[in-house]
Amino acid sequence: MIGILGALRSSAVRSRKRVAIGAVQITQGFLASLSEGARVADLVVVGAEVPGYECVQAKGEEAIAEQLVALGISGAVDAIVRGQLYYTYYHASIKSQLNVRRDLMCPCLIKDVCGNEWFLTPVVQHDDASVEGRSYLASQAARICTKLGVDPVIGVLAADSERGYLRSVDASLDDAEAIVSKLKKNGYGRCAMYPLRIDKAASECNIVIPMDGTVGNFVCRALAYLGGASLVGGFSLTSRVVSIDTSRANDRFGPAIEAAVAMSNVGGMHIEEYDGVVARPS
């Protein structure tokens, strides 16, 4: 069975695209990322100037974010990558220019040290962790997989497998059961609960749904910065621009650039946008 990264790679090599990336400080890691990304993309560096690449200069992270997002929304480039920009500035620019009420949620693609490739979502503290919100996130990550030709397999985590000793554990089991039921009713047959066992979920699924964004954020950071996992980035859930959200602490953006090209080559992000209460067709 083809994995997510293999599907992204196959899509990325079909056609070169123009991809813009935010640049604050030129490091060896950033230059290596540009070199890697230039294999599949014509790059536009927004912010700091880098010899040998098309550049759009801007001073200050807020101004860089505004320029970067504007390039993507206007169609001047095919996709954008957050790069080194501060999360708040990048998402504030997207919210303002797309006129949305909340930060876009972004399922994060990870390759762990065991070789498993999976979307983790929610991964930000203020992502919607309700049953509705997590069902939405699971379904949209599944849409991305399907568009890439990958069969989605969803694992919904719960805090433990035993009931009766903590209300919070019971609540997490109730929520996980409700999410699985909702997803199956909506046609996602390969979906199951994984009480406590994130390791098993990661080995058997390509979409993993933790209890909330705080748990997801700690899992993501622990795996990437302590456990040797590779972060591709977050796939911004809007159909109006292809945006890959990266961690500036990572400074390795080649896979994110490749993912941006790949999603552009399949016609963009075929997802439903979320208004904070229900999913609505874009």
**Residue 58's closest CA among 30, 87, 103, 21?**
21
Report residue 207 as tokens.
Answer: 């979409």
Under 8 Å between Cβ of 104 and 236:
yes
Chain center to CA of 166: 32
Is 234 in contact with 108 (CB distance < 8 Å)? Answer: yes
Q: Find the helix or strand (DSSP H, E) in which 230 lies.
A: strand 230-235
Give me the residues paired with residue 80 across strands: 20, 243
Q: What is the pTM of this model?
A: 0.94
Q: What is the pLDDT of residue 279?
A: 39
pLDDT tens for each residue of 16-28: 999 999 999 999 9
Amino acid, single-letter form, for residue 214: T
Give, as one character, the DSSP assignment of residue 112: -
Provide the residue type at 68 as one letter.
Answer: L
pLDDT by residue (tens digit) across 38-49?
999 999 999 999
The CA-atom distances, in angstroms, between 184 and each of 86, 149, 154, 178 are 37, 20, 10, 10
So what's the pLDDT on residue 1?
55
What pLDDT, on a 0 to 100 scale, did the predictor assign at position 263? Answer: 98
Cα distances (Å, whole numbers) of residue 281 to 205, 239, 240, 277: 26, 10, 12, 13
Instruction: Please provide the size of the chain in residues.
Output: 282
Residue numbers of the chain with a pLDDT score lower than 70: 1, 275-282
Nearest to 273 by CA among 146, 123, 94: 94
C-alpha to C-alpha distance for 150 and 2, rounded to whole angstroms: 7
| Three-state DSSP state, 195 | strand
Q: How far apart are CA 91 and CA 101, in angstroms?
A: 11
How much is the pLDDT for 175? 97
Q: CA 145 to CA 11: how far, in whole Å?
A: 12
- pLDDT at position 249: 81
DSSP state letters, 25-47: S--HHHHHHHHHHTTTEEEEEEE
pLDDT at 282: 33
